[in-house]
Amino acid sequence: MTFQVLTVGIDLNNTIVDTRAGLLSHSRRLSGLNITPGQFVGRETVGRQFPTTQDGSKFAVFTAEQYERAKDLYFNTPVGFLEHALPCAGAVKLLQVLCAQGHSLQLVTDAASLQEKVVRDWWRRVGLPSTCEFHFTRGASKDELYALCHVIVDDDLKHLLPHVENPDMRLYHALPAPGAVGCDVVKRPDGLSDRIISVQGCEPLLADWRNWQAELAAAQTVAA
């Protein structure tokens, strides 16, 4: 099958890299709290009570200081990222398929302190495609880069909503897969535009992508 070559803008954290899992690992170790994967959703977890014992008889509050320390370890120390970062389930296969189809993959992160060399070393170690291009926006907006793409994949709706009126753009809202960190908390909001396709993990995203590509190929055949 011949594929139209597309520019695909893909967020890094919580879309390709399971950032919540890395932060949870540090957060649990620093706080001593029994925070389950489904309950953890980054900064929004601060202020909630969690068990300090396996039997759930005692509780304590997860503090902002504990979260900031966990975040500092994860983003600002090479060991913190390299030893705790994992690809989201299905991410390696998704990127391999898109690269094999010849698409231009633009990997984007606006995490201001994430070290580029560390990310590239981790990327090679887990076997992600070397043809992906990296963009470290250092806290600046992703929107200018995304505006040049045919497809956007991001877990943050604020980067998708500006493009809803563009009928030529395909927009994927990346939600945690069932059983993944944050899956009990992060949901598709009610009333969200149908132009934004919410997918729970990379595997259903790839399935939808393949269906879409088949539809495009069928349309091209009819037009010819």
pLDDT in tens, 137-156: 876 678 888 999 999 999 99
**When comparing pLDDT for 141 and 106, which is higher?**
106
State how far the Cα of 184 lies from the Cα of 24, in Å rounded to an integer. 14
Cα dist from 224 to 4, 96, 136, 160, 186, whole Å: 15, 30, 41, 33, 43
Smallest CA-to-CA distance from 50 within 25, 73, 33 is with 33
**When comparing pLDDT for 3 and 166, which is higher?**
166
Q: What ranges in 56-195 are assigned the alpha helix state H?
A: 64-76, 78-82, 91-100, 116-125, 143-146
Q: Determine what percent of the chain is predicted with pLDDT higher than 70.
A: 96
pTM (2 d.p.):
0.88
State how far the Cα of 85 lies from the Cα of 126, in Å rounded to an integer. 10
AA letter at 47: G
Those residues with Cβ within 8 angstroms of residue 89's Cβ, 6 or more apart along the chain or in another chain: 18, 177, 180, 201, 202, 203
Q: In the chain, what are the domains?
A: 7-18+87-223 (3.40.50.1000), 20-82 (no CATH)
Q: Which segments of the chain are extended strands (E)? A: 7-11, 49-51, 59-61, 104-109, 133-136, 151-154, 170-175, 196-200
pLDDT in tens, 163-216: 999 999 999 999 998 888 888 888 999 999 999 999 999 999 999 999 998 888
Smallest CA-to-CA distance from 114 within 90, 82, 146, 147 is with 82
| Spacing of C-alpha 105 from chain mean position | 14
